[in-house]
Amino acid sequence: MALTWSKLGVVLSLFGTLALSLQAVAQEPNFQIGSSVISELKYKPGFKHFNYVNPDAPKGGNLRLTATGTYDTFNPLLAKGEVAVGLTLPFETLMKSADDELLASYGLLAEGVSSPDDVSSATFRLRKEAKWADGSQVTPEDVVFSFEKSKELNPLLSNYYKHVLKAEKTGERDVTFTFDEKNNKELPNILGQLTIVPKHWWEGTGPDGKPRDISKTTLEPVMGSGPYKIAAFAPGATIRYELRDDYWGKDLNVNVGQNNFGSITYTYFGDRDVEFEAFRAGNSDYWQETQAARWATGYDFPAVKDGRVKKEDVPNALRATGIMQALVPNTRRDIFKDEKVREALNFGFDFEELNRTVAFNTYKRIDSYFWNTELASSGLPEGRELEILKGLKDKLSPAVFTTRYTNPVGGDPQKSRDNLRKAIGLFKEAGWEIKGNRMVNTKTGRPMSFEILLSSPMLERWAVPYTNNLKKIGIDARVRTVDASQYTNRVRSFDYDMIWNVWAQTMNPGNEQADYWGSGSANQQGSRNYAGIADPAIDALIRMVIFAPNRDEQVAAIKALDRVLLAGHYVVPLFYRGAQSIAYWNTITRPAEYPTYGTGFPDAWWSSAASK
């Protein structure tokens, strides 16, 4: 039977209503309690606490810690000045990481997160109970303000979040971040790490009656929503944080068994050795050792012998971290633009000799930008990795396909001489030769001369022997150690010939790779592209890493990126250990078991005195 116009109108009206209803359902965010980049979440809705914490850990007592250098600002977003250590304590992020699973985080300020299937956006829903220290509610406006100011005032964060077009309030407690590209699966997770600051506080007036300015450094104690507040400080010297009794999130599942110390005090020292003496004397409770010689010979004092100080090598924190520690030549300088020059510089570093004489053979040489993880390239490329590289063949050196990356091996006078001869040969290919005991450019006659800028005298025991070795082949290499403030300013502005740097990689490399090695960050002051790398092939590989549709494709792209970076000889790889060396007094207590991927310090530790 044919439909009449009136019946057809009713049908169309019903169909339109149904379509709108379905559209509304489709658009309603499906909020999850957390976000995981590479696997399902370990913890399910309703979980009580993380498995590695002691839910009955006592509250109270004082944790005494130390830091090297100085500070001159409490502004957590600004890329200016020296930010006070521990400044994460008064502030919070939208999500909180779990230390017993890879790349997973759970709701902190946000009770949930939602993304569409194409990951074109991410929406976070704030908790109703989330409050600032003054009792006012944390709002979507605070999140939008924090995001916009982070991008405006911090080049590193601007690059990190460059694919986020905007943040906007989309509900009473909802804020939505819109992306410029789809299927960047890491973006929701890294937005969960965004430090949230109170808009009303920063737009208000300070105790002096003057308007606050988030674009400037400040030593006014800042206000946050976190478990601690700045209680006292001596500018540049000490800072004490106190646990807030009125902290809104004290009973949240992601906080149970954590934030246990009643106060946390940091004391600054100008010298790392003096800082260690403070630990030895019992004036600080915890020490992370970074000097192999001291770890081997410097712990024979009475407190270690009688058990008041415990020493531990803990591999957990490095299980999920790829390390590249290296001397980094600045390719913005003409003398380092040639790949052969950079390769030659590696032949001047005798790791085996220094490892024996300085480090008691406790270190291993780094040979990957993702060293000590499953993401490190090895051998010659094959399988999917080889296919990816073949797609970029016209942009790559043939050595990428034919030569396995290896570091020079020294350790005795003959090997050292052979390595220096190889270095001379590479310099010659690059247009440098030795004349009158000096390495000079054959075209300009300019001698090879550069400075290694360091932030700590502790590094000199490695850098000075390296420069002495280079002097044997006519290179005027010098070491200059400067204070923390000067070092930070010079590195941010790329005002150096060579520096010592450590890049730490997660098991899910993503958007930060563009900040480390991408062309867009090469001349962006404040970026972490310290070498000044600008290579179309590397840019293409970074995009493949970020937008990989699955884990297998991602790993293949990461290994290809690693291989191309190594072939470019952008760094002189140094060394690292496979465990974190820590020592601590019996004044503090750790959880019975460390989390799989960390030590849980200081969040999950507690004061021994508080438990009595």
The amino acid that residue 248 corresponds to is W
Provide mean pLDDT across the span 451-477: 96
Provide mean pLDDT across the span 251-267: 98
Task: Supply the pLDDT for residue 156.
Answer: 84
Q: What are phi and psi of 434, to 5 degrees?
A: -85, 125
CA distance 254 to 92: 12
The amino acid that residue 431 corresponds to is G
What six digits make up the tokens of 168?
């906007």
What dihedral angle (degrees, nearest 10) is formed by the CA atoms of 511, 516, 517, 522?
A: 110
Has residue 20 got a pLDDT over 80? Answer: no
What confidence tier does 611 reach under pLDDT thresholds 50, 70, 90?
confident
Provide mean pLDDT across the span 267-291: 95
Provide mean pLDDT across the span 309-313: 97
What six digits make up the tokens of 61?
């007592």
Query: pLDDT tens for residues 509-534?
Result: 998 999 999 999 999 998 999 999 99
Task: Supply the pLDDT for residue 136.
Answer: 98
What confidence tier does 27 reach under pLDDT thresholds 50, 70, 90?
low
Task: Supply the pLDDT for residue 29.
Answer: 78
Beta carbons of 31 and 112 less than 8 angstroms apart: yes
What six digits make up the tokens of 561?
């990126």
Provide mean pLDDT across the span 56-76: 96
Strand partners of residue 328: 499
Task: Supply the pLDDT for residue 15.
Answer: 36
Closest CA to 47 of 227, 257, 261: 257
Cα 77-78-82 angle, rounded to 5 deg: 110
**Dihedral-angle region of residue 265 (phi above 0 means left; psi in -120 to 50 means alpha; beta otherwise):** beta
Q: Which residue stretches of 161-213 are H helix?
A: 187-191, 199-202
Provide mean pLDDT across the span 467-474: 98
Alpha-carbon separation of residue 436 from 244, 433, 439, 447, 474 (angstroms): 68, 10, 8, 11, 8
End-to-end CA distance of the chain: 87
What confidence tier does 425 reach under pLDDT thresholds 50, 70, 90?
very high
Task: Supply the pLDDT for residue 236.
Answer: 94
Strand, coil or helix: what is 134?
coil
Has residue 86 got a pLDDT over 60? Answer: yes
Low-confidence winner among 16-30, 185-199, 222-236, 574-588 (lowest mean pLDDT): 16-30
Contacts of 22 (CB under 8 A, 6+ apart): none
Query: pLDDT tens for residues 347-358?
Result: 999 999 999 999
Task: Supply the pLDDT for residue 28.
Answer: 67
What six digits make up the tokens of 346?
């590696």
Has residue 430 got a pLDDT over 70? Answer: yes
Q: Which residue stretches of 91-154 are H helix?
A: 140-153
What dihedral angle (degrees, nearest 10) is formed by the CA atoms of 389, 394, 399, 404?
A: 0
| Torsion sign over Cα 302, 305, 306, 310 | positive
CA distance 291 to 272: 10
Has residue 3 got a pLDDT over 60? Answer: no
The pTM of this model reads 0.84
In order of their start, the domains of the chain are 34-234 (3.40.190.10), 322-403+419-576 (3.10.105.10)
Task: Supply the pLDDT for residue 317.
Answer: 86
**Pairing relationship of beta strands 95-97 and 104-107 according to DSSP bridges:** antiparallel
In this predicted model, which residue has the larger pLDDT, 107 or 185?
A: 107
Closest CA to 515 of 490, 537, 532, 495: 532
Strand partners of residue 368: none
